[in-house]
Amino acid sequence: MNDLIIDIVYEDNHIVVVNKPVNVPSQADVSGDVDMLSMVKQYIKEKYEKPGDVYIGLVHRLDRPAGGLMVFARTSKAASRLSEQMRSKKIVKKYLAVVSGICPVGDGVTRLEGYIEKDSTTNKVAVYDIKKGDAKFAALEYECLQCASPLSLVRVSLETGRPHQIRAQMAHAGLPLYGDQKYGDGRVGQQLALWSNQLSFAHPVTQEVLNFVSPPPQETQPWRVFSTLRQTALL
C-alpha cells in the first residue's frame, strides 16, 4: 500500500492506538496522499486476513504536520463510546511543542483563552481576544519545561479542540511553534515541532483507564537540542 511502517502502540479487539508519522493526514484529503485511517484499515485487513472492507472509526484528528498518538476504533460501538468521551472532554490529550521564544521555566501553568474563527478558503484560523462574529471559544494551558535559546520546550493541554488551536493560540501569545509556516516564521524545510505526547481514556468496553505516552523523535531538529527531552516526555 505504501512505504510507511505503521507504529502500533496498542491494539485489541476494540481499539488501535498508533503513532502517526509527521506529514501524514489523519484521513483522506484532497492531496490523495496515503492517510492514517487507510493505513490502519489495511494493517487490520492484512494481519487478520479479513475479506472485504474493514471498519475503522476515526475518533479524533491530528494536524498533518504534527505527529504522535492517535486512537482508532475497531467497532462502531467502540467508536460511539470514544466519540462520546471526546464530546464530554474525558479523553485527555497532551502535546509537546517547541516554540520560538523564551518562556519562564518553573513558573507553572499559563492559561490562554480566546476566540477562534476559521477561514475555509485559506484553511487558516484567526484568534481574537474577544467574541467576534462566528468565532468559537478556545482555551488551552501550557507549561514551559526547558529553554535552549532562542527556543523553548512546552507541554500543552487542550481544553477545547478547535482547528489549528495550539499553533494559532501560541502564535497569538507571541510563542509561535518552530517550523510553522502558517502561523509563525517557519522556513521551507523546517518540520513543525508539535507532538501528541500523552493520551488517556477509558476503554470503551472494559472501562479500564488506559494511559499512553510517546516521546517525540529526539534525534531530529529541533527536539534534539533539549537535553532532558526523553525524561520530560515520559513524565
CA 128 – CA 139 distance, rounded (Å)? 12
3-state DSSP assignment of residue 235: coil
CA 8 – CA 40 distance, rounded (Å)? 9
Cross-strand pairs, 11: 16
- The C-alpha cell 496522499 sits at 33
What is the number of residues in the chain?
Answer: 235
Number of H helices, E strands in the chain: 4, 11
Distance of CA 201 to CAs 3, 82, 161, Å?
A: 31, 8, 16
**Amino acid found at 193:** A
Residue 107: active-site member: no
Catalytic residue among 3, 12, 53, 63: 63
Which residues are known to be catalytic?
63
